[in-house]
């Protein structure tokens, strides 16, 4: 059994997940069961970071993926963001990189600049 704290909502239920059957106990709702199963079989995370930006009032721009991506892809995505440069003007929600690292997720701006 793997012990986890559900992070889907502030209640923070303590979950136990059977690594063989993916049965989840301790969840108070179905979202928690889904979270527990995914954490064992295919953990996902939203990536938040910043990238260099040229022509803006700040040297860096906060960005994030527009959906959760496999946790194992995070370092690869961070390497892409490390060498990426955006150019102002940019609106919040603008897509800066499509399908980053073939995850199906886009990198989008978290603010205007
Ligand atoms: S199991 Fe449901 S109620 Fe409990 S923390 Fe997760 S989402 Fe919230």
CA distances to 5, 9, 32 from 16, in Å: 9, 17, 11
- pLDDT class for 98, splitting at 50, 70, 90? very high
| Domains of the chain as residue ranges with CATH | 2-41 (no CATH), 48-109 (3.10.530.10)
> Probe ligand 1: pick from 10, 11, 16, 26, max atoms within 8 Å of CB?
11
The two structure tokens encoding residue 73: 């892809």
Distance between Cα 56 and ligand 1 center (Å): 40
* Res 2: pLDDT: 94
What integer is the mean pLDDT of 36-53?
Answer: 94
Distance between Cα 70 and ligand 1 center (Å): 21
Q: Are strands 107-109 and 44-45 parallel, antiparallel or unpaired?
A: unpaired
For ligand 1, atom 1: residue with the closest CA: 32
Long-range contacts, stretch 9-18, CB < 8 angstroms, 24+ apart: none
Entry pTM? 0.80
């Amino acid at each position: 059994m793997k012990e986890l704290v559900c992070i889907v909502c502030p209640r923070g239920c303590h979950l136990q997940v059977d690594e063989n059957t993916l049965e989840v106990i301790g969840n108070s709702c179905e979202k928690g069961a889904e979270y527990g199963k995914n954490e064992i079989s295919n953990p996902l995370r939203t990536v938040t970071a910043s990238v260099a930006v040229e022509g803006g009032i700040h040297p860096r721009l906060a960005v994030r993926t527009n959906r959760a991506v496999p946790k194992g892809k995070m370092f690869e995505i961070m390497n892409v963001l490390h060498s990426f440069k955006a150019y102002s003007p940019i609106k919040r929600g603008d897509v800066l990189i499509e399908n980053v690292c073939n995850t199906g997720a886009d990198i989008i701006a978290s603010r205007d600049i």
